[in-house]
Structure 1
């Protein structure tokens, strides 16, 4: 986007081209930060973006990394699964569900720290079981 802004505005004015490029870059950064989904674990639920899942229905959790993560996104993907996948984040966490009233078999959530998320979910589930 910045080279395109420079290409359009530099012939008009060098100052305008640089200012528009800087403003455009800032706007893109703000939009990316504002639209980044939040993944969080509380004492009662697991949140991924706008979706929230009670910990009581979480059956199993595992980190999925490397080539296996690619297979989970592709050939092994169940069409009924809930997905919060960002293409630039290679690793996933797979959260298996045990809820007879919900047809969703599992959640796949992209994360840069899959093992930390698995540990947080395991800790929260252990805490809620007490």
Structure 2
């Protein structure tokens, strides 16, 4: 991956910005929004564990067991949703879970899948990059951070729609550059 100083010399980045379509989303509209929800296995496990907690209490009292089982199932389902990060591009910001960065500080995003994605989160893991990776996804995106004051070298995100996220980031960067002109 090129360093921030090398990125500025990249001929593709020095080309004139592409025109933004007239029907592009306006201010306040999200260009991309995804909650990276867990796969079916996590949902089944949450229901199973909650039901098991209720079953344990049957010898004590049936009503208490049913209430504890239902409450446990609901609480675990809520936890599965809360653990699923939101990936969003809106208003010139890229939000990844609770973290966010202005798109003007980002380089060229890259969609990753298959073995490239596995290598990015495995043997080529970048310790200084900001990661929001979930094991239940097999695709993701990487974008270099160009801000010299930011200690993170890149952002690596799990997403089920990496091409859409890359397109949204590029569009947000063009919109940002156009608004600064």
Superposed, 1:57-96 pairs within 5 Å as 57-96=105-144
CA deviation map 1:20-79 (0-9, x unaligned): 212111111122223432211123211111211111111110111112111101111111
Alignment correspondent of 1:55? 103
Alignment correspondent of 1:117? 165
Q: Between Structure 1 and Structure 2, how many residues are aligned?
A: 130
CA deviation map 1:51-108 (0-9, x unaligned): 1111111111011111211110111111101011112122111011212222321110
Contact 2:51 2:72 in 1 (8 A): no
The answer for unaligned runs of 5 or more in structure 1 is none
Superposed, 1:2-81 pairs within 5 Å as 2-81=50-129
- Three-state SS of the structure 1 residue aligned to 2:104 is helix
**Which stretch of structure 1 is more off in the superposition, 116-125 or 3-12?**
3-12
Distance in 1 between residues matched to 2:142 and 2:89, nearest whole Å? 14
**Which stretch of structure 1 is more off in the superposition, 36-45 or 81-90?**
36-45
**RMSD of Structure 2 on Structure 1 (CA):** 1.7
1:3 CA displacement: 4.5
Contact 2:133 2:156 in 1 (8 A): yes
The answer for unaligned runs of 5 or more in structure 2 is 1-48
Contact 2:50 2:76 in 1 (8 A): no
Alignment correspondent of 1:106? 154
What TM-score results when the alignment is normalised by the length of structure 2?
A: 0.65
